[in-house]
Amino acid sequence: MFEIIPAIDLIDNQCVRLTQGDYQQKTIYHSSPLIVAQNFEAVGIQSLHIVDLSGAKAGTPQHLHWVEQIAKHTQLRIDYGGGIREEQHIKDILSAGASMVSIGSIAVKNQTLVGTWLAQFGGEVILLAADVKEEYIALQAWQETSHITVFDWVAEYEKMGLTQFFCTDVARDGMLTGANVALYQKLKAHFPNLRILASGGVGSWADIEALQQLDIAGVIVGKALYEGKIDIQQIQKYIQS
């Protein structure tokens, strides 16, 4: 089943959203990530995507206490990313209660290291975060752009045992202008055996329906939920149908 996965982005213990990954374009939505997570679970959501934006800047996770609280007080399946630079960070995130660890910038800068993590923790734990600008990988919380295409990058990790990744079109992220359906269609054609999640730009229920037609695993939704562009009751009806 195509899964709708809400995103909780954290800066200084608050739920926020950035526009195009710009820390200067920050909107604060809630002061309690736990309450937000519980509200999602109440309508039938089963998975949660947590992005530690403070951790991404600091180079080390900053909000593991919220993972612990959400894991303790909900049954949500959590993936967590932001600031992961070493093996101990992964162990700490999993110990806090997350099921998966999202790996982004370090996967661009140190492929050998992330390859060892795939071998050690397995493809069911490591969730590759492919942030792109015009099909090229972006890194450091989207503050830099590499010269590596997402297709070449993911292909290398597939050889190492990667089973899943999500791809965020940074140019559309937080803009509510529609998902880059063509990009995900292309990714699905390149990687038919991988679990692919779309992310970035979703602004309406029609965007979700368009992505669902691609036979990808699901979509990560953030600002559209917080801004009321997608009614949480729509998600509840979809899950229950």
Residues annotated as catalytic are 9, 131
- Over the chain, what HEC string results? CCEEEEEEEEECCEEEEEECCEEEEEEEEECCHHHHHHHHHHCCCCEEEEEEHHHHHHCCCCCHHHHHHHHHHCCCEEEEECCCCCHHHHHHHHHHCCCEEEECHHHHHCHHHHHHHHHHHCCCCEEEEEEEECCEEEECCCCEEEEEEHHHHHHHHHHCCCCEEEEEECCCCCCCCCCCHHHHHHHHHHCCCCEEEEECCCCCHHHHHHHHCCCCCEEEECHHHHCCCCCHHHHHHHHHC
